[in-house]
Amino acid sequence: MLSPKSFPVIEATLPIIAERISSITPNFYNRLFAAHPELLDGIFSRSNQKNGTQQQALAGSIAVFATYLVKHPGTAPETMLARVAHKHTSLGVAEEQYPIVYKHLFDAIAEDLGDALTPEIADAWTEVYWLMAHALIKIEKGLYAQQANAGIYAPWKLVERAETGVDSVILSFEPADGTPVTVAKPGQFVSVRMPMADGLRQVRQYTLSNDVEHARRRTITVKLDVNGEFSPVIHNNLEIGGVIELSNPYGDLVIDNEGSPLVIATAGIGCTPSAAALQTLAAHGSTRKITVLHADQEITTWPLREQMLESIGKLPGATLSTWFERGELPEGLNAQSGYMDLAAALSEDAQVYLCGPLPFMNAVRTQALEAGIPAERIHYEVFGPDVWLAA
């Protein structure tokens, strides 16, 4: 809760800070990496720095947190904090890094605002930062404590590799040493850390797409981005027997076996969380009413198609509808041309899970909201920095 002294200051200055924060964050990251270049080795993605998504995600989280403190005194945006904390812990963010971030962020704010940054404004926004920081630190300590080991990464060996869809590959790993293994949950992800051509380690998060509850196996599905930095290394350089670093499993997009009607809407490689969830639901004999909706370019580009269809066939309460932008429509998949339409799939008590490109999720989420589904029952996963937080 904001102090009585800071509340009116934040309320008054929130519009200008929210407007300026997107300009402030690039300066912050330039300062941070100039002082601590080691943070680009295995923690921050330089690709996300170049395309600006990391800056957008940070700006969005600060603006959302401050806005929430003003509009909902005495509470905190728990969903947003949990999402950020899961990302942080998968990267190994530590408590001692928060003062470093504070210094360079507030130096950037001071440079941007100049004389407009009075001591009262600086103190109030310092309070906002540390309220958010301490809330994240508390959650992150709890997430670290839930793991079967105290490490951030452990070595895992590639034991199986299979193509799926177009330009996507299924990779299965087994432990390469005796590090205790945390059993994952469907919908969770792991961070993958690998050295790039110049030797600098980079990290990406991938949802576990198969064998989720198998304690001695991690399976991910990776779509090739020919213009990317990371996925070409996995596709072209990682061979059977190769060893890479994987984090413990994190993520709060977990689907229960039972509950109210479930609507899973995905597009493209965004089907990885749903593929894992459907497989786990089938393994547990779930009778939950499940509506699976998937959109893709055409039937041949759909990754993990066989796995998903097999799981759906084992779920008595599951139905499937598909949409394809081109090509002949397949039989038996309730296939339609064009873009996904949720109207017929939604009920008042539905829980909706989304995963796919941001334009797809924006369109589908809008449909769900217009159909009367409360925002708190619409869940989503973003691959990479969560630039959707402000929504």
Is 389 a member of any domain? no
62 plus 38 within the same structural domain? yes
> CB–CB of 276/210 below 8 Å?
yes
Low-confidence residues of the chain: pLDDT under 50: 387-388, 390-391
Distance from the Cα of residue 138 to its chain's centroid: 20
Q: What is the pLDDT of residue 390?
A: 46
**What's the total number of domains in the chain?**
3
Q: What is the pLDDT of residue 1?
A: 82
Is 386 a member of any domain? no
| Domain limits for position 214 | 153-247
- The CA angle 46-51-55, to the nearest 5 degrees, is 80
Residue 98 annotated among the catalytic residues of the structure: yes
Catalytic annotation, pick one of 11, 98, 174, 213 = 98
Q: What is the pLDDT of residue 46?
A: 86
Q: What is the pLDDT of residue 391?
A: 45
| Whole-prediction pTM | 0.91
Report the distance separating Cα 10 and Cα 128, nearest Å. Answer: 8
CATH number at residue 128: 1.10.490.10
Q: What is the pLDDT of residue 389?
A: 54
Q: Which residue has the tokens 């576990």?
A: 208
Q: What is the pLDDT of residue 32?
A: 93
Q: What is the pLDDT of residue 322?
A: 97
Q: What is the pLDDT of residue 334?
A: 94
134 plus 160 within the same structural domain? no
* Span 87-146, pLDDT tens digits: 999 999 999 999 999 999 999 999 999 999 999 999 999 999 999 999 999 999 999 999
Q: Which residue has the tokens 């990682």?
A: 238
Give CA torsion, residues 96, 144, 1, 63, to 10 deg: 80
Q: Among 270, 294, 236, which residue's Cα sits nearest to residue 380?
A: 270
Is 64 a member of any domain? yes
Is 37 a member of any domain? yes
Residue 68 annotated among the catalytic residues of the structure: no
Catalytic annotation, pick one of 29, 127, 129, 140 = 140
